[in-house]
Structure 1
């Protein structure tokens, strides 16, 4: 019987999608449901490892456009970083398959050391090469993270005899919740060292060196923890005596499968929301801190406001993960996050100037909290969605996310010095509406809602 176009869309099939070799299918045990498995240990270690690593990098990234504003060094460096990440993400799944997800995670962490260390002597000759290297390693790290987390969740579901969708949602909720806490811890450290370390000169930049040294120590802890992760399986069949992972035939097969996703209707439509996640992150990291927070409170208080954003992001991630039990829940949760960021954007359209009074401080804090709610829902629900839609192409699906997300982030940072604030708000609002329409359409078609029979 010939498959209809709507059925192909709902099943995620594509004419260009390559057939997969037979592999063992995970099956649930008939034993009674348990609440614990060794994969929970891996989840906890991965989450805390990323917390210690990114509390350093995340807080420093928030400060780049404010600390290194001369000739746009800070913004350009972040733009170069995400451009490098975009280009490198095309090949990232190959490295994850060749190395395995655990070793790929360790390789991916190395670039963050180089970038943070470069801030000890911030010049064009140190920041740009460090940004290029970080972009390359970050593409590997995030592709490996999505793969590792998805397969740890699936293995946990099998061990505990629970739904895969529920396990994926719970794992993503905990990971992104702990991960988002880096914005709280890192920015509070940033606030303390920059505000109290500015000395008699009143220059917050004078406290940068002890801040970076503290951040390097935090990253050492995060990297050390990553060594205790257990290896996880991959969605690709890479163990073969006659065709090892690095063989030309195997590499050619993986490349074809990665590009095959771009021919799928679901992925093409999802690109809009992947792009939006990049723009919304660039806005809160760069434009919001530079154009709203710094003129109001000063650069030292960027950490304080962003700590509120991080707390909101962390709490919302955990809550979103708990309620993410399937596609209808994913649609509803994402709508809540989109509404929160939409409200923040509309507020900023009507008010960009904030004073030091309690009312303006309260409103500014509310904007940061609302943005954190939106970021949490997008991170947790897109990650769960890709794991559900592409169980056999996990590396390639998460690479697509990083390609489009980082391309948007890079474009936003490069354009920031030459683009008006109002224009950025209108672009974000328009893209938010378009991306949510596309996302909801994909979910509805996959569930079969509205199909004529």
Structure 2
């Protein structure tokens, strides 16, 4: 037993000194983490989607009915493969391997487009050559996007924990980088959309064949697959190690559909899908082509992609600082604004300003929906529910994209625009209802 006035080592204390029974230890510092994996993932996405974007826009113009069937098969397979994707990511051992596996389906799709461009391939055989890879791409795309959401959430969490551990003396310190990480990835993706829209148009205008273009795109896609192979493994957390059977995975997705917070996010997810379908098919086929001509598609969509790319980065960063809901308001206003312009003006001849304005407004909205909705999903549905939440997100988004595209031949432009506007209004209403707000990630 220690005597009064005596230190722990037995030496007497100096006058005025007091013994502290609890010596101070260094404060724990989390493992160092940076945003480098997010940029690495962005580069991989840039290369993979630099190949897909021009191919997707050229499918219908080069292949006619087969192109429409290919897009429909792609997005419906992407939508309906969602229930098994979480189990697939678990089977592949985590999001990194799933990202690589998903990207390889993009490469197979590019090779199929090269084959059907060869003159010696009979037209009937083109269906056999293109449609199965389209279905495979749909499954792979769902796998890729779900794995991206899981990977981004883990990277964000590791950086946030490291930053908070450096500021333990300030209990008010709060960091949240989910929006930023998602914004970085989407910046690279939309940058690919911008650059390759212009590059492919220039290449085809110079007299190069579509097969030559697809060979170049396939090489870029292969480089993207290799880049994702070199991606650092996602940080591991205890909840990520939970193993689920296929039945448990399916049941978790079913129960998420009954979750109150998820139901409030559903209108945002549906709006994102409708807006992307409108961008992919309606603007190009019903506004740009009849008003300006096909030669303007690349320029208008490149402008939309540029706004989308910059907006993804900016809105992701800003929403981390000021909150998700002020940024969502920008999405509501721009999406509704674009719809109102179309409904009021129709499609006048030589409507250059209108076409660019609508594409820009919907591009801004797409940046908001993709970046902020992804961040909100990762915030509200922590592991092990994160993968299931992103699988549902990808499925419903893809379904609405396919649905909006397929409605083109059957519904007039005004009705499709009204459907998009209605989904935006519903999303605005549900977003304004007070509900549970998740605490910062621990």
TM-score (norm 2): 0.83
1:11: which partner in 2? none
User: Is the 8 Å Cα contact of residues 32 and 162 (structure 2) preserved in structure 1?
Assistant: yes
User: Is the 8 Å Cα contact of residues 33 and 162 (structure 2) preserved in structure 1?
Assistant: no
Aligned positions of 1:144-183 closer than 5 A: 144-161=147-164, 166-183=176-193
1:430: which partner in 2? 422
Indicate the SS of the match to 2:406: helix
Indicate the SS of the match to 2:320: coil
Change (3 A) 1:170 1:192: same
Displacement after TM superposition at 1:239 (Å): 4.5
User: Is the 8 Å Cα contact of residues 273 and 401 (structure 2) preserved in structure 1?
Assistant: yes
User: Is the 8 Å Cα contact of residues 80 and 131 (structure 1) preserved in structure 2?
Assistant: yes
Gaps of 5+ in 1: 1-28, 198-205, 449-453
1:321: which partner in 2? 316
1:310: which partner in 2? 305
Q: Confirm or deny that 1:388 pairs with 2:398.
A: no
Q: 1:98 aligns with which of 76, 91, 99?
A: 91
Indicate the SS of the match to 1:232: coil
User: Is the 8 Å Cα contact of residues 87 and 245 (structure 2) preserved in structure 1?
Assistant: no
Root mean square deviation, CA, Å: 2.4
Q: Confirm or deny that 1:116 pairs with 2:131.
A: no
Displacement after TM superposition at 1:210 (Å): 2.0
Change (3 A) 1:238 1:347: closer
Displacement after TM superposition at 1:31 (Å): 7.0
Q: How many residues align?
A: 395
User: Is the 8 Å Cα contact of residues 65 and 286 (structure 1) preserved in structure 2?
Assistant: no
Equivalent-residue separation in structure 2 for 1:30 and 1:303 (angstroms) = 55
User: Is the 8 Å Cα contact of residues 79 and 409 (structure 1) preserved in structure 2?
Assistant: no
Equivalent-residue separation in structure 1 for 2:254 and 2:275 (angstroms) = 26
**Range moving further from structure 2, 284-293 or 143-152:** 284-293
Equivalent-residue separation in structure 1 for 2:106 and 2:309 (angstroms) = 22
Aligned positions of 1:297-446 closer than 5 A: 297-325=292-320, 329-356=323-350, 360-392=351-383, 393-441=385-433, 444-446=434-436
When Rg is computed on C-alpha atoms for both structures, the one with the higher figure is: 2
Displacement after TM superposition at 1:347 (Å): 0.8
1:87: which partner in 2? 80
Indicate the SS of the match to 2:257: helix
Residues 225-273 of structure 1 deviation map (CA, whole Å, 9 limit, x = unaligned): 1111111146774648xxxx4xxx6444333323221121111232222
TM-score (norm 1): 0.81
2:53: which partner in 1? 58
Displacement after TM superposition at 1:79 (Å): 1.3
Equivalent-residue separation in structure 1 for 2:386 and 2:193 (angstroms) = 27
